[in-house]
Structures are given as C-alpha cells and as structure tokens.
Amino acid sequence: MDSNTTTRVSGNELLKAGCPTLAGTILPTLRDPQADRFSEEDTQFLKFHGIYQQDDRDLRKTGKKYIFMVRLRLPGGVMQPAQYLVCDDLCSRHANGTLRITSRQGIQFHGVVKSGLGPLIQQVNQALLSTLAACGDVNRNVMAPPTPAVDDLGKRVRDDARRVALAVAPATPAYHSIWVDGVELNLEEPANREFVDPLYGKTYLPRKFKIGFAIPPSNDVDVLSDCCGFIAIADPAGQLLGYNLVAGGGMGRSHGNAATFPRLADVIGFLPADRVVETARTVLTIHRDFGDRGDRKHARLKYVLEDRGAAWFRAELESRLGFRLEEPKPYRFETIQDRLGWGQQADGRWFLGVFVQTGRIRDTERLRLKTGLRQAIERFQPEIRFTPANNVILANIASSDRAEIDRLLRECGLDTAAQGTPLARASTACVAFPTCGLALAESERVLPGLVERLEALLAEAGLPGEEFNIRMTGCPNGCVRPYLAELGFVGRAPGRYQLWLGGNRPSTRMARPFLENVKEADIEKELRPLFTRFRDERQTGEGFGDWCARVIWPTLPAPAGSPTSAPAS
C-alpha cells in the first residue's frame, strides 16, 4: 500500500485480513437447519461469492423474513441456451420465479431462502457458470458490447473482454470448496493456511472495481462510468488497432456528503490490443495499492484520479507496465440505445433484440415473457446476451426460423416489430424495494407507471412520442447510472426523489442535480413547465438532455467531481 495513504483501516479490511480465503463460517451456517441467516461478518464474505443477504421489506412490520439475492458473473453478458434453461428452472424452484437482468449484463435470482442457496449455486456451477466475484471488493462483471458482431471487430473486442475477465478473477479456493464440493476448507493444508490471492493480495481491493469495453459510435456499456474502460479504435477497414484507455469513472455517492460524487472517467492514452490484459491487471493494482482503505465511501478508483490527477495516474501506470502509452486516438460516441427487433450478423445469421421493461423476466397476464423466451430458446437454441439496458438478445438464428419465432412470441403477447414505446425503451430502473436493503424509495415497481405519466405529460405539452433516456434508482449509489441520464430520478426517502437533468444520448456528459426533494405525486407539476419550455425553446433536432445543458445548466451549480471539460464524444 502507498505509504501516503491513511494507516486507519475500516472494519471490512480487518475482516479480509483475518480470512483471506473468504471462507468465514459460511458452510457451517449453511448446514445449520435452525439458522435463517448468516452473521454480520459472513454477510461481507458472502458478497465475494455473489450473494447478498436481504430481507423482504414489505414484511418488516410482521418481523424480518431473511432472503438472499444471488448474482451470476457473465463476462460480456453471454449465456448458452442450455445455461439459460437451467437458470429459468432454478428461479422457479429456488427463487421468486423471475430472472432479473442487471445493469452490468448479469443475472440475479431474488427471494432465495437459505436452504435454497446450496442447491442453486451448485447447479449454477454444474452449468459451467459462476457467482464468484459478482459482488465484493474485487473486479465485477466485465462488460462488452452486447449486439452480435456485424463485422470482425465486434468478435475481437468480445474475445478481449473475456480474456480480461479471466485474468482478473480472484483465486480463492473457498468458493469451489463450499458451493461445489460442500466441504469445509482444510486450513491445515499450507496452501489454504497461507493463502494470499496472487493478484489481489491478502485484503483484496478497497472497494469494487469495474471494467468495460465499447466500440464507437455505440456507448451501450456506459464505458465512461467504469473504473477502467477500453474504447476500441479501428482502421478504415474495420480492423482493431488498439484501445483508448479510460480510468476513474464511477457513479456512487451519498446524499448530503459533498466528498462523494459521480465522476466520468479520464481518457488516459492509447495502447496496442495485445497489451489489454496486462493493462487491465495493472490498473487494478493501482486501485489496490492507492485506494482509501480507511473510508469505504472514498475507496473507489475515481477518488484516486480525482485526488492525484490523470497525469499522475498515467505516469504510475506506465512505470508499472514498462512501456509508454500513445496519445489517445479520436473517437466519437453517438448513442447508447440497444438494437431491438431483428438484425443481421456478420456471418449471415440473425439476432433478435427483446425489450424487457425494468429487466424483469417474468410472466404477467398481458405478457408471458418468461414462457415465450423459454420456448424460443428450447426450440431454436440461440445464444443469449444480456444488455446493460436490461434487455435480451437472442443470437445466431437461422433466417428460416425467424417467422416461427415471431409467431411463438406473438402468442405470448410480444410483437417483435413493435416493442414498447420510445420513452419506455429508453428507461431503466434499479431493483430497489422490496429486496434491496439500501433502497430509500421505489424504483423498479414504479417506473413503468411513471413512464406512462410522463408520456401523457409530453403529449399534453405537444411532444407526443418524444424520446429521451430516463434512469431511476432507489438510492444514491446509482446502479443504473442515473447521473448520466437526460432525466434521472434518485431516491431520497419513501415517495421522494432528487431530480438530475442534462446528461446526453451517448452518455458522455454528466447530469446535474435540478431539484433536491420532489414528491412522486408532484413530478408532473415540477416537469410540466420544463417540458413546455423545451417545446418552445429547443433548437432543430435538439434532444431534451442537450436542451437542459444549454438552457438550464447555466442556472445550476456544477456538482462536485464534474470534469472541467467533456471527453471526446
């Protein structure tokens, strides 16, 4: 650790130092039929295993009912058909019957009781999937462009993302011992007794770490929100030349704490494609060695960049790598939107983008999405890809199968040619109530109704069919990146939200806080004059976020951590 960092360490650091295998007493508690929950110490270790201990907050008045969220780590969001079918079955047998797509291209099981944890995670691993490092103070799921390759560039970038994901995975022996073999880790064996992760060290990272890959002009992974990002640079023929490295992005903040803030990543430099793995690992070690281990609210890599500067970071990185980065290459992002409906791949086969409002795969009276996807995947065996916008892509489909897939999904209520409204398709929400312990306000459960209300308000203002991205979170941690939205809602308390304005369509500009504490019932009252002004004052072709930045921003103070100049867009 850097000698200039604080010598005071948080309780989490002491826990990790005392048990570098991350085994804790998880297995004995798992075996105890009288226990419905894990100790406070073990709940921290469980996160490294991809598990959050929660309770059903709708039932708190009658006493806590402990449940668990289990998250899969899926590099690039890719899953094979047999794996998806296993997950579909497991959510019905051991969870609440739904699958939840995450904002980092993963899958979450909700409502798992303690007795279901072992069977669920064991069968996940038998399907050659894993939950290890989906949470915890390690690198999280590595994101990559979800749209199937329409040229060789897309395949190469996805391959690089998978290589990086493997290279930064933690090596703890406890995960396999507990969840696959079901046996206590033998600490008498020297390898276990003296275990130190070869990359992460004895105490892992100060906080979580995130890596993403993007291919301009699409920024569908919000790469500037990552701790470490790689922006693909290609020659005119579409061949990969290398990557622009970006570092120091992050969304989390706390209400009322000006020392915490969302931040866009700095563009650091350009590197050859064959150096991407070692660069990712080296950026991670800088976070490991310089991140704040005394204050977890100040422990992300973004604060290292904010405090020390991009020039310092580049010099430190080059010193560790042993080679110099080139200056960043020009690039331009234009959109973040997923490609929904049918599209053709480079190999002549087809893919189908399926809109999943708020990312929840389930059956309702109107739309039997869970049933339709299962039937299509069982019969036609497509590859499955999850998007950061919480949608599903079915890939590698033969042209001759398109009509039958359309018919099958239409019977379940899904018209593949007309999926959702423009505003709904551009809206995302975090899970929030009733399962997330950090939620201060509703998100997933209220967003669909809020979108309908905003559509009505836009129609009233003479803007029917207007599209701009909306992101809603139940707390300021910002899991769906509301601080990059054209219109962001951040939960403050039950039924109350902070409103952010002025992000842009390609997610290259931070929004700014507009209103601090708005009642959900008053959202129309607050936004009606804004939409009217937008209608009257917008320039030709100007989007809502761009109008807000041009007209409203000058009246708002810049939030802490705002860059002095925007990155290339």
Active centre residues (catalytic): 71, 140, 208, 210, 430, 436, 475, 479
Closest CA to 383 of 398, 393, 373: 393
Q: How many CB atoms neighbour CB 119 within 10 A?
A: 13
Q: How many CB atoms neighbour CB 205 within 10 A?
A: 26
Ramachandran region of residue 128, left (φ > 0), alpha (ψ -120 to 50) or beta? left
Closest CA to 334 of 509, 421, 217: 217
Contact present, 441 and 491 (Cβ < 8 Å): yes
Distance CA 161, CA 166 (A): 9
Residue type for 445, please?
Answer: R
Q: Which residue has the tokens 């939840």?
A: 100
* CA count, 13 A, side-chain hemisphere, 537: 15
* Cis status of the peptide bond prior to 217, with omega within 30 of 0: yes
Backbone phi and psi for residue 111, each to the nearest 5 degrees, phi listed first = 75, 25
Beta-sheet pairing, 360-361 with 427-429:
unpaired
- The DSSP 8-state label assigned to residue 16 in this structure reads H
DSSP states of 501-559 as a string?
E---TTS-S--EEEEEEEEGGGHHHHHHHHHHHHHHHPPTT--HHHHIIIIIGGGSPPP
Rg (CA), the chain: 23
Contact present, 554 and 484 (Cβ < 8 Å): no
Pair of tokens at residue 440:
């201060």
Find the farthest-apart pair of alpha carbons in the chain and give their distance in angstroms, rounded.
74
Distance CA 54, CA 42 (A): 13
Question: C-alpha distances in angstroms, 527 versus 445, 453, 489, 490?
Answer: 21, 11, 12, 15
- The DSSP 8-state label assigned to residue 173 in this structure reads S
Distance CA 146, CA 215 (A): 10
Contact present, 534 and 517 (Cβ < 8 Å): no
Residue type for 567, please?
Answer: P
